[in-house]
Amino acid sequence: MNLAIDIGNTNLKFGLFENNEPVDVLIGEEAIDVILATHKIEEAILSKTGSNSSIEQKLKQKNIRTLILSPELKIPLKILYKTPETLGADRIAGSVAANFLFPTNNILKIDFGTCITFDFVNANAEYHGGAISPGMMMRFKALHNYTAKLPLVDPMQFTSFELTGTDTTTSILSGVVNGIKEEVHGIIKQYDLRFGNLAIVATGGDALLFATLLNCEIFARPYLVLEGLNRILNYNTE
């Protein structure tokens, strides 16, 4: 059994796979002890956006062969990014998974996480790059932290996002949520006009929200990074 580990800025996620089939996903640092106690892990792969050396130590103690996703690791994409050493491991892994899902399409992968990242892979499996924008909660926190009186808004308390806010809270809600919606919609439109044959794959904690709000065909995949990590692990053991 393979273990894919995504150490992100906000969450730590573990994906268990048999070949390329997902078996289970667990979230939180304490999950590693449960996994190692109840499953026979043959190989593991780590994507590190955040930092957590204790996970690596526990895998080493169990003598589990562990790969670290880095620019030196072989992947099934050609990287055309000018500074691959600065390219986030989560962006690479998610792009690998998206390319596997839609191998004959140009792909725009959008990760609605701590940051909103856009990644473009063409139909020749060439990774070009993309864009990085503040994520939804980062925008709410910035409005609260960098002003004297604006409240910190919790979007989870709302089920609709009206265009016209009728008080300060709903005005902030509209500005952030509808602002992201229009930003993403505009970028999708530009990529579609420029490249065509475009598949849009969304992941990240806020992906389902914006996939619902956006008026276009989006393939939502909550654990895309874990799927990509497993693909890369298998690619390096074939």
Task: Determine which one of 90, 111, 119, 206 is catalytic.
Answer: 90
DSSP conformation class of 155: G
Inter-residue contact 19 to 29 (CB < 8 Å)? no
- Residue 179 pairs in a beta bridge with none
Question: Pick from 105, 136, 124, 92: which is nearest to 219 by CA?
Answer: 105
The number of beta carbons lying within 10 Å of the beta carbon of residue 30 is 9
Inter-residue contact 49 to 89 (CB < 8 Å)? yes
Residue whose structure tokens are 């996703």: 69
User: Sheet harboring 115-121: ordered strands across?
Assistant: 78-79, 126-134, 115-121, 106-112, 198-203, 219-220
Catalytic residue flag (residue 90): yes
* Long-range contacts (CB closer than 8 Å, 24 or more residues apart) made by 55-58: 55/5, 55/7, 55/12, 55/29, 58/32, 58/33
Question: Pick from 102, 94, 109, 95: which is nearest to 123 by CA?
Answer: 102
CA pair distance 195, 229, nearest whole angstrom: 27
Residues known to be catalytic: 90
